[in-house]
Structure 1
Amino acid sequence: MEKVSFRSWRSPVHAGRHALATIQVGILAGIVLLGQGPALAQEPDILKPPTEAPAAEKPLPAAKGSLVIIGGGLRGDNADVWQKIVNLAGGKGARIAVFPAASGTPERAAEIIIGYLKKYGADAFAVPVAVRLAGSDYRKAADDAALAEKIRKSGGVYFAGGDQSRITKALVREDGTRTAALEAVWDLYRRGGVVAGTSAGAAIMSSTMFHNPRAILPMLRNGITDGQEIAPGLGFIGDDVFVDQHLLVRGRFARMIPAMLTKNYKLGLGIDEDSALVINAQREVEVIGYSGGLLIDTSQAVWDKSRPDFNVSNVRISYLDRGDRFNIITQSFTPAPDKAGGRIEAGRTALRGPVYSNDILGNYAVVQLMERLIDSDQEEAIGVASGNPRSTTPEVGFEFRFSKTPESVGYISGIAEAYSVLNIRLDIRPIDIPRPLYKYR
């Protein structure tokens, strides 16, 4: 299999701290964009050393287990994902503890998930630790020794979707220490079990998670506050990678970037709905399921915090399609088998003409733009993000400028029109958008 090495950031295992955010962009035909300041300057493609060393901490045993991080919206017939969870938990008959803590209706959520896991061969059971579970004291249940031991002896756990703050509220004590149930999950993971989660259950995988976020445009305009839009997660993936979900359907790449910069994350992984990132003990990532996800690298990014609206230059963004693999430690990429030999040669111009998006935050808009750019005669593409086009007052929007670099690489499948796109440069800057955007003739 062909492998490609990323020339940028090299990360130590579970070191550093970072976060995620996604961005909006699009080209608005027939309007005048009054740019707020000059275009962002190009930065040299060099590795920047950290400004300060992380504080020394007592090392914990390395986790021997795996993670299955699902972007939400997992369908019951997605055998790739469900079967992977069961196999990693030990195969047919594997015990899997289901945590419905995030759900507003935990009994029903647990029942549905257990049904699917049993369909694919697991012996699943519900963990009655949930803020919304009627007739139950979640604090007492989370520290029940017998329940913790039952979790610990399982081959895997599954965190349901909903509100991720309910998971941390149920499993982390008010003083910040882990409950017995959460310690049991960590013991299972360190021993070699699988920790899976969908939607909210994916958000808690990183040490920082979105907590009570506003819509993407207000976050870009007004910034992100630690303790409000973002809060501590459970950190199974380590302190050096930020995770987000529902990514391509909801344009959330644009909120990942400001969050990552706010918390000094250098690497972010966002996964789409009905898809999953499978990460093993060697920190090798495999994309499975319906579509794919985005890899966001801010190690060379330049962010001017003095400006009132969000801006950044030299973020690197990559699209990893289903079947692709990426190694977090070595930063190397291996395309899916159907893309082997499908590297897009420099100078190929399958597509011609401007590449742009009028709504870069729209459903799959960012991936479609990246795919068109990598396989075209253009060196850059523009996307715009803005609000209500019928507003009567001017507003701040954002331009997303995607550029090819010498490290940009594309792959195309030999059996379908499916792409993988690596190392596209992304610059984001605020723009003034006149309102109303149009008048009827």
Structure 2
Amino acid sequence: MRFLKPLLLAACCWAASAQAGTAIVIGGALRADNDAVWQRIVDEAGGTGARIAVFATAAGNPERSAASIVAALNRRGAQAEAIPIAPRLVGVDLQANLRDPVLLDKVRQSRGVFFSGGAQEYIVDSLQPAGQPTEMLQAIRSVLARGGVVAGSSAGAAIMSRMMFRDPPGNHLVLKGQWREGQEFDRGLAFIEPDVFIDQHFLKRGRIGRLLPALRALGFQQGLGIEENSAAVFKGAQVEIIGARGALLVDLREATSNADQTAFNLRGAQLSYLDRGDRHDFSTGVSTPSAAKLREPMAHATAPNAEALQQGSPYFMDILGDQAIVNAMAYLFDTGLPEVRGLAYQMRPRPGDPAPDLGFEFRLYRGPGSAAWFSSAQGGEDVTVLKARLDVIPVRVAQPLLSPR
């Protein structure tokens, strides 16, 4: 119950400001040569000469991180400047800077704000201690309220939703129920749609394993996991995917769980992989593939092709591996097989693992509205998958899984 007042405050702040501006949520590992994302930030801030305030608050080395971001933005025509608000800045009085009228005015006069990667708890602890917004956070919100842009990469992406991962121990332990206030989760800064939960480094690190239980535990129906070197551009309820790859949209509005099972379980979740150029409207639930995809025939096979029948149904032994969940989704539509399965299991459980023999089987299959498109128009085999179905089933795995013959 003690989250109620801050959450209501966050929702009010979102309603008053986020619809006016643009939030650019970057999945981390943003390359310096990713013009699609860097230039979009500058353009949304007003183009050439746009003033952008850079917060390396989350960074382990704030000076270096801020200098790199400022340089990348200025190469695209911005007038970016680092704002010295970071716990790890040596010789800087953080509390004094949070109240400094000169710094506050610089932020208020900016048309954009950029949050670096690092540790997201540094951002919320600095700008929103104990859930209470500082004057500096209010200055940042004013940029968004006037139609400006707030962008963030990695940790700077995590803080975009009204709740966030703070410092979770890993996918498997979150799946097994390690989920504590102030440790695994915390309040975010609520720069985007209030009913969408954000995660980052998503496909590279297999974070579908932690997003699903997070949505259930925190009462969210939808989550967006953004891949590295890619971004989701939010304008109110509308989102567009840009950059190198894409984002995974998780929809639990029709999903069910078996309350008689103590372990996490799920049936009928909907997964959509939105690739670069794809769009989604959270107000209507409609996803629109890019123009390049729509020029290709829709893949909606309901019967396995001959090659798939010959090879048999694959089993992804590490469904939380790098890109594995999207590869499995694509395989489901490319082959026409009735289902694809995979296992989430930690071969070497961490110390303190509450259930070392507990694993989770992921079952992917098609349902009403399921569709996919494949395209090589942008170089490479790009895919969009809409409304694949997912069941997550707790299973017991032998200990040890492997033994000498």
Residue type of the alignment partner of 2:287: F
Decide whether the 8 Å contact of 1:394 with 1:434 is kept in 2. Answer: no
Decide whether the 8 Å contact of 1:348 with 1:375 is kept in 2. Answer: no
Distance (Å, rounded) in 2 between the aligned partners of 1:141 and 1:104: 18
Q: Secondary structure at the match of 1:76?
A: coil
Return closer, same or farther for 1:389/1:96 CA change in 2, 3 Å cut-off.
closer
Q: Deviations over 1:271-292 (max 9, x none)?
A: 00000001124x2211111111
Structure 1 counterpart of 2:332, from 369, 373, 378:
373
Distance (Å, rounded) in 2 between the aligned partners of 1:408 and 1:184: 43
Distance (Å, rounded) in 1 between the aligned partners of 2:346 and 2:37: 36
Q: Secondary structure at the match of 2:268?
A: strand
Distance (Å, rounded) in 2 between the aligned partners of 1:400 and 1:151: 46
Distance (Å, rounded) in 1 between the aligned partners of 2:197 and 2:302: 34
Residue type of the alignment partner of 1:397: G
Distance (Å, rounded) in 2 between the aligned partners of 1:122 and 1:333: 32
Distance (Å, rounded) in 2 between the aligned partners of 1:232 and 1:305: 27
Structure 2 counterpart of 1:409, from 357, 363, 371:
371
Distance (Å, rounded) in 2 between the aligned partners of 1:270 and 1:187: 27
1:85-100 correspondence to structure 2 within 5 Å = 85-100=41-56
1:27-46 correspondence to structure 2 within 5 Å = none
Q: Identify which of structures 1 and 2 has the higher relative contact order when contacts are C-alpha pairs closer than 8 Å and 6+ apart.
A: 1
Return closer, same or farther for 1:302/1:346 CA change in 2, 3 Å cut-off.
same
After alignment, is 198-207 or 118-127 more displaced?
118-127
Deviation at 1:304, TM superposition (A): 3.5
Return closer, same or farther for 1:406/1:164 CA change in 2, 3 Å cut-off.
same
Q: Which has the higher helix share?
A: 2
Q: Deviations over 1:157-188 (max 9, x none)?
A: 000000000001111144x3211111011111
Residue 364 of structure 1 corresponds to 323
Distance (Å, rounded) in 1 between the aligned partners of 2:217 and 2:88: 32
Structure 1 counterpart of 2:386, from 419, 422, 427:
422
Decide whether the 8 Å contact of 2:318 with 2:344 is kept in 1. Answer: yes
After alignment, is 199-208 or 369-378 more displaced?
369-378
Decide whether the 8 Å contact of 1:360 with 1:383 is kept in 2. Answer: yes
Q: Deviations over 1:75-114 (max 9, x none)?
A: 0001110000011111011100000000011111111111
Residue type of the alignment partner of 1:265: F
Deviation at 1:414, TM superposition (A): 5.1
Structure 2 counterpart of 1:257, from 206, 209, 212:
212
The question of 1:70 aligning with 2:26 is answered yes
Deviation at 1:132, TM superposition (A): 1.0
Residue 95 of structure 2 corresponds to 139
Residue 354 of structure 1 corresponds to 313
After alignment, is 382-391 or 404-413 more displaced?
382-391
Q: Secondary structure at the match of 2:16?
A: coil
Decide whether the 8 Å contact of 1:63 with 1:191 is kept in 2. Answer: no
Return closer, same or farther for 1:232/1:390 CA change in 2, 3 Å cut-off.
closer
Decide whether the 8 Å contact of 1:355 with 1:378 is kept in 2. Answer: no
1:222-261 correspondence to structure 2 within 5 Å = 222-261=177-216
Decide whether the 8 Å contact of 1:324 with 1:335 is kept in 2. Answer: yes
Distance (Å, rounded) in 2 between the aligned partners of 1:420 and 1:409: 8
The question of 1:295 aligning with 2:249 is answered yes
Residue 340 of structure 1 corresponds to 294
Residue type of the alignment partner of 2:239: V
Return closer, same or farther for 1:172/1:438 CA change in 2, 3 Å cut-off.
closer
Residue type of the alignment partner of 1:243: I
1:64-213 correspondence to structure 2 within 5 Å = 64-174=20-130, 176-213=131-168
Distance (Å, rounded) in 2 between the aligned partners of 1:239 and 1:57: 10
Distance (Å, rounded) in 1 between the aligned partners of 2:243 and 2:386: 20
After alignment, is 72-81 or 405-414 more displaced?
405-414
Return closer, same or farther for 1:80/1:61 CA change in 2, 3 Å cut-off.
closer
Distance (Å, rounded) in 2 between the aligned partners of 1:239 and 1:94: 28
Decide whether the 8 Å contact of 1:358 with 1:384 is kept in 2. Answer: yes
Identity %: 43
Return closer, same or farther for 1:329/1:369 CA change in 2, 3 Å cut-off.
same
Return closer, same or farther for 1:389/1:156 CA change in 2, 3 Å cut-off.
closer
Q: What CA RMSD, in Å, does the superposition of the two structures yield over aligned residues?
A: 2.5
Distance (Å, rounded) in 1 between the aligned partners of 2:292 and 2:404: 49
Structure 1 spans left out of the alignment, 5+ residues: 1-15, 17-55
How many residues in Structure 1 have an aligned counterpart in Structure 2? 389
Return closer, same or farther for 1:278/1:266 CA change in 2, 3 Å cut-off.
same
Structure 2 counterpart of 1:433, from 381, 385, 397:
397
1:309-348 correspondence to structure 2 within 5 Å = 309-342=263-296, 343-347=298-302
After alignment, is 94-103 or 226-235 more displaced?
226-235
Decide whether the 8 Å contact of 2:17 with 2:142 is kept in 1. Answer: no
Residue 8 of structure 2 corresponds to none
Deviation at 1:293, TM superposition (A): 0.8
Return closer, same or farther for 1:324/1:90 CA change in 2, 3 Å cut-off.
same
Deviation at 1:437, TM superposition (A): 2.2
Deviation at 1:389, TM superposition (A): 6.4
Q: Deviations over 1:140-162 (max 9, x none)?
A: 21122221121111110000000
